[in-house]
Chains A and B, each alone.
Chain A
Amino acid sequence: MDQAEYLLKLEQNLMTGSARWIADFTESFRDHTVDGIRFDMLLRAKTRVKGFFLSNIMSFFILPNYRAACFVCGSDQAKRGLRSLLAVMSRYMEAEALKWCWLVIPGHGSFPGALRKAVVRNDVREIGVALVDLDSQEIVTNSSFMGRRMVRHIRCFK
């Protein structure tokens, strides 16, 4: 599977697929630049989902009203430095009042050991980071709740 195809499937899964149980990803930007760093895709979400009359009422009273986002960035950018990516995301989260974020890094072939370690050791609670190997379909995430939660929603290879 090539990266463009994966991005389309990921976008579809986040906006209309299983990820709607987590948040309502309503808006998708492609090739979006944030603080000078180009992200292949940026999806913005709210945790209060919309629906018909009764769903809206239930959603209003039960669900929290957080804003969230999912960043997708090429592996080349991530190999240059995960720290700078996370710093940009943190600033964006602060500016846009986001409660949590996902960072998906798709790539072909296995990722460098240093990058894998950096991802696994990332302990920022509000950011889930995932390395997605499109060849072997292996996904490595950080161990935070956000990281563990994102796996099933970004596993869209078929």
Chain B
Amino acid sequence: MTTVAPLQLSNLIKSFIGLLLGLLVLWSGCGFLAVGDIIMPRGPLLRLLFLGLVLSISAVLAWVLYKNFYHTVLSYDENGFELQRGRGRITGRWQDFSDVSLFHIGRGQFVVRLYKDEGQFEEIPASDLKLDPSEFRFLVTKYVRS
């Protein structure tokens, strides 16, 4: 069985920046509510320590957020696949699907869509998995039609 689980740096950075800004806004808001000003430690060393603490907390929370919502692991062989995205998990057998398409979700990102006979579909995020979307589509098509 082949397993693909690349680190999606863009999603990790997005989480980190979002959390960092969120924490800073929260800290400022709390300061304004408590004393009517942004609370900052006195002295350069304490300020550096404070900055390091905020960055560390953001990094840890970003990693937790990334692992729970964005990190994608795909395992597949000629019989089927298992896709885990964050906490969600999808498993499927290639023979349950009847058609395959390459779908452009925007900004150059592609997913491979697997259609069932009833028109329902599952999506494998080929670009997020750092796979060549076109090549992967051909591979999946081969599995589905064999």
Interface on A for B, CB 8 Å cutoff?
8, 11, 15-16, 25-32, 50-51
B43 within 8 A of A: no
Is the C-beta of B78 less than 8 angstroms from some C-beta in chain A? no
Q: Is the interface of B mostly helix, strand, loop or mixed?
A: strand
The total of interchain contacts (Cβ-Cβ below 8 angstroms) comes to 30
Inter-chain CA distance A8–B137, complex, in Å, is 12
A contact patch SS: strand
With the chains together, A151 CA to B109 CA distance in Å?
26
Binding site for A on B (CB under 8 A): 99-106, 108, 113, 134, 137-138, 141
Contact (Cβ within 8 A) A29 B104: no
B141 and A26 within 8 A (CB): no
Q: Are A50 and B101 within 8 A (Cβ)?
A: no
| Pair A16/B102 contact, Cβ less than 8 Å | no
Complex contacts, A8 vs chain B, CB 8 Å: 134
Asked whether A50 lies within 8 Å of B106 as measured between CB atoms, the reply is yes
> Is the pair B141, A16 in contact by a Cβ cutoff of 8 Å?
no
Q: Which residues of B contact A32 (CB under 8 A)?
A: 99
